[in-house]
Amino acid sequence: MTEVRPNSEGLSVLDRPNSYIGKTVPRPNLDRLMQGRGLYVSDMELPRMAHVMFLRSPHAHAKIAGIDPSAARQMPGVVAVVTGHELAKVITPWVGVLSHLKGLKSAPQHAIAINRVCWQGEAVAAVVATSRALAEDAAEAVFVEYDALDAVTDMRTALDPQIPVIHPSLGDNLAFERILDAGKVDQALADSDEIVEAEFMFGRHTGVTLEPRAVVADWNAAEARLTIYQGTQAPHMVQNIAALHLGLAERQVRVVCKDVGGSFGIKVHIYADEMATYALSKLLRRPIKFVADRVESFNTDIHARDHRCKGRIGVKRDGTITAFEIDDLTGIGPYSMYPRTSAIEANQVVNLVGGPYVTRNYRARARVVFQNKNVMCQYRAVGHPIACSVTEGLVDLAAARIGMDPVEIRRRNLVPDDAYPCTSPSGLRFEQLSHHASLGKLLGMMDYEGLRAQQAALRKNGIHRGIGIASFIEVTNPSAAFYGVGGARISSQDGVALRLDAQGAVICHTSITEQGQGSESLTAQIVGSVLGISMERVRVILGDTDNTPYGGGTWASRGAGIGGEAALQATKILRKNILDVAAAILQSTAAELDIANNAVVNAGDGAPRIELEELARIVYFRPDTLPPGIQPELMATRHFVPREYPFAFTNGVQASWLEVDTETGFIKLLKHWVVEDCGTIINPQLVDEQIRGGVVQGLGAALFEKCVYDERGQLTNANMADYLVPMSGEMPDIDVGHVVSPTLESELGAKGAGEAGTAGAAAAVANALNDALAPFGTIVTEIPLTPRVILTALGRI
């Protein structure tokens, strides 16, 4: 299911005999996880380790009138009960702003609340004991007196004059606003035959990583070093931030990342309770373990989406889309998250709406407001599902208004595949996208005409099925434009260091991290292919700031494109170094030699000349036998960051085929298709599984997931029985196809694939539902598409 588009550069380094590039090979080291012999942070135990349990506010907004920990301190097993005031002596507060998000403001946030709590779930005291159970027992004996304050909960009224300002020093509850006006929107709308408007609503949801956030912080007072074992996507970022706020040098902090039980952006941030855990270890001079329980996860893992977006589209009768206009509103909780901030999602919505389409006329306003709910921040496919649902929802509404097929209106308005490079109205630069090739392929895979015929036939029998299409663009391979330019010390470059060991195998350290995407595999595939050795001879080490090169980690679909290119370039250097030594040993020249099947061979006829193991033996143990002046260098390090384009945009299109029961309001997903273009595919299976997993995450948002807050700011469904996630029984099979437009910015040509699935899934489902409901003359623009929402739209309840 892959179409490769011509790449003028070719793929010479990768297109070698026995290359692993483009091949499905099993990921290394899966047995460890399948046999229950992985090492997740929640599994870790260290000598003298104590456990922290955070006592959390039951109020959304309250003054802390007093805390009396004296009874708790006498409880069995209790090591300490620490308040915000006490912990503030060890760790400084932070403000989650970045300078490139102009006007973004936030208030100082402490590791543990001082004087006031601003959301239900904010920690007010840390109870440290010899076991989590004993800490929980003692927490019940900590007496906290609260004076409840009015809670700001409705984002729609958060800016009204009569609503309290959460942080008076900020002046109002507006955290961030962005306004964009490109082209001539008013003129374009005036010239349109039809203007269609709708308000799109998105539930507040969260990542629900199966392993909750977990950290073990180990301050060694004798070494004056802090080792942080944490399930994080960005170890060097954690190192920087922990050091900064604990008053340490970065060299005094080591971050180690073992197996991570799911991340999806949830674990790319640094949470107040994690900061508190680092600080407690320093304060108490012993290892401290924090593992969130599920209720804590719902109350404190970042939430996302929760946007209300009014949209307008202008269209002519021939299907020409004349303009897009949006007014987006989101509430992010009481603080902008640190260090990535909580303005990025709204900013992305502004960037991405209308992105696949030709029209130059686009106006947008996005407002981000504070409220007394849990913090919101970047979660898989940041902003994409919102932008895609709004754009694709509007396009379908416009098509319906003028009586045009949804596919046809897209054909007439998607940016042509030969129009690149080009720039979007919001200033995004696209190197090479393939909307039309992708749409064409998708229609073939799904048999669009056949489904339309089936739909019409079933409709006569009162069976209501719908087809939904959603084209999308995806931000991947972010350069420093994402965070670095705003002052965040979050690396956009990554590095790979390789060394040939004494048996001719390769030890590879990479700064990207693994949370199951296949970072280890793709790195080994690239190193093995470029060097000419078998993957089994490549040992990949990730997630340790003491040992790996400095780099960003794995997030924003950057691991393969950035870390993979660093691996490619490092391997080319190692290969050259090996061939230089081989030439000296063999009295040949490097140009006449190659490496294949773990041996140096003749470049011409491929005849084996010397095994790498033998070469390594000579270099390490008998350098005396090498010619004079030869100093072998069997290590190589290279770093990479994209410089030409701020982001490597990818694109794709999804389709949903579903049936809705108009009596009960239940949706049955029958099938889902995706065609995406992530450039060079290193491992087709890994890409497909990223897509499928991402789609299902988007389907959860479409159908089930929502953090339900009441008007007092209480999260009413903070458990997995009430917050519904997609399970195997409700999910469809998903067919995945590819178009391949490699980026020319790297030799590897890979772009990201981690978020494409999540970006467009909900839009495709919502469009399919509205297609199914067409005979009823109603539309739904709110997710999750629960039976209540659907029955309400149908006027049944």
Residues contributing to the site for other proteins (CB under 8 A): 26-27, 30-40, 42-43, 131, 133, 207-212, 259-264, 293-294, 515-518, 685-686, 689, 692-697, 719-721, 725-731, 733-734, 757
Smaller CB separation from other proteins, 27 or 410 = 27
Would you say 171 or 729 has its CB closer to other proteins? 729
Helix orientation angle between 448-459 and 435-446, rounded to the nearest 10 degrees: 50
The least distance separating other proteins from the CB of residue 38, rounded to whole angstroms, comes to: 6
CB of 210 to other proteins, least distance (A): 4
Comparison of 34 and 607: residue with beta carbon closer to other proteins: 34
Nearer to other proteins, 634 or 658 (CB): 658
Residue 26 CB, shortest distance to other proteins, in Å, is 5
The least CB distance from residue 214 to other proteins, in Å, is: 11
Per DSSP, the chain holds a count of helices (H) and strands (E) of 19, 32
Six token digits for residue 760? 């467009």
**Cis, peptide link before residue 784, omega less than 30° from 0:** yes
Residues in the chain, overall count: 797
Contact between residue 289 and residue 296 where contact means Cβ atoms under 8 Å apart:
no
Encoded tokens for 22: 């483009």
H-type alpha helices, 15-122? 30-34, 70-73, 84-87
d(CA 647, CA 70): 54
CB of 678 to other proteins, least distance (A): 16
Which DSSP string do the residues of 652-671 spell out, in sequence order?
EEEEEEEEE-TTT--EEEEE
- Which of 43, 172 has the CB closer to other proteins? 43
Between 207 and 331, whose beta carbon lies closer to other proteins?
207
Q: How far is the CB of 534 from other proteins (least distance, A)?
A: 17
d(CA 118, CA 276): 17
To other proteins, the closest distance from the beta carbon of 49 in angstroms equals 12
Q: Are 129 and 53 in contact (CB under 8 A)?
A: yes
Q: Please state the closest distance from residue 553 (CB atom) to other proteins, in A.
A: 15
Nearer to other proteins, 208 or 498 (CB): 208
How far the first Cα of the chain sits from its last, in Å, is 44
Residue with tokens 């020409």: 320
Task: Single out the residue of 252, 233, 257, 232 nearest to residue 242, CA to CA.
Answer: 252
Least separation in angstroms between residue 740's CB and other proteins is 20
DSSP 207: -
The token pair that represents 385 in the structure block: 């599902």
Contact 567, 523 (CB under 8 A): yes
Q: Where are the beta strands (DSSP E) in 111-256?
A: 116-117, 123-129, 143-148, 174-182, 194-202, 204-206, 214-220, 225-230, 253-256
| Shortest CB 660 distance to other proteins, Å | 20
CB nearer to other proteins: give 215 or 343: 215
Min dist. Cβ of residue 285 to other proteins (A): 24
List of residues 6+ apart from 444 with CB closer than 8 A: none
Which residue lies nearer to other proteins by CB, 293 or 710? 293
Of the CA atoms within 13 Å of residue 596, those in its CB half-sphere come to: 18
Q: Identify whether the C-beta of residue 502 lies closer than 8 Å to the C-beta of residue 620.
A: yes
Give 683's DSSP letter.
Answer: -
Burial degree of 743 (CB within 10 A; 0-12, 13-18, 19+):
buried
Judge whether 673 and 442 are in contact, CB under 8 Å: yes
Residue 729 CB, shortest distance to other proteins, in Å, is 4
Nearer to other proteins, 578 or 736 (CB): 736
Cα 544 from chain centre: 20
- For residues 584 and 522, give the distance between their C-alpha atoms in angstroms, rounded to a whole number: 32
Whole-number Cα distances in Å, 638 to 235, 412, 571, 643 = 19, 44, 8, 15
The CB-of-689 to other proteins minimum distance in angstroms stands at: 5
Q: How do beta strands 2-4 and 734-740 pair? A: parallel
Between residues 42 and 342, which has the closer beta carbon with respect to other proteins?
42
Instruction: Point out which residues pair with 567 in neighbouring strands.
Output: none
Contact present, 686 and 515 (Cβ < 8 Å): no
DSSP three-state, residue 329: strand
DSSP type of residue 546? T
Q: Of 15 and 722, which CB lies nearer to other proteins in the complex structure?
A: 722
Smallest separation (angstroms) from other proteins to the CB of 202: 19
d(C-alpha 252, C-alpha 242), whole Å: 10
In the complex, the smallest distance separating the C-beta of residue 42 from other proteins, rounded to whole angstroms, is: 7
Please, what is the minimum distance in Å from the beta carbon of residue 695 to other proteins? 6
Q: Which is nearer to other proteins, 261 or 551 (CB)?
A: 261
Residue 116 vs 384, nearer CB to other proteins: 384
47/70 Cα distance (integer angstroms): 27
Closest CA relative to residue 477, chosen from 321, 641, 278, 336: 641
CA-to-CA separations, 107 to 159, 173, 333, in angstroms, rounded: 17, 11, 12
In whole angstroms, give the CA distance from residue 752 to residue 560.
Answer: 7
The minimum distance between CB 691 and other proteins, in angstroms, equals 8
| Residue 24 or 115 having the CB closest to other proteins | 24
Torsion sign, CA atoms 248, 251, 256, 262: positive
Q: Which of 541/731 has CB closer to other proteins?
A: 731
Q: Toward other proteins, which CB reaches closer, 28 or 96?
A: 28
Q: Is 491 left (phi over 0), alpha (psi -120 to 50) or beta?
A: beta
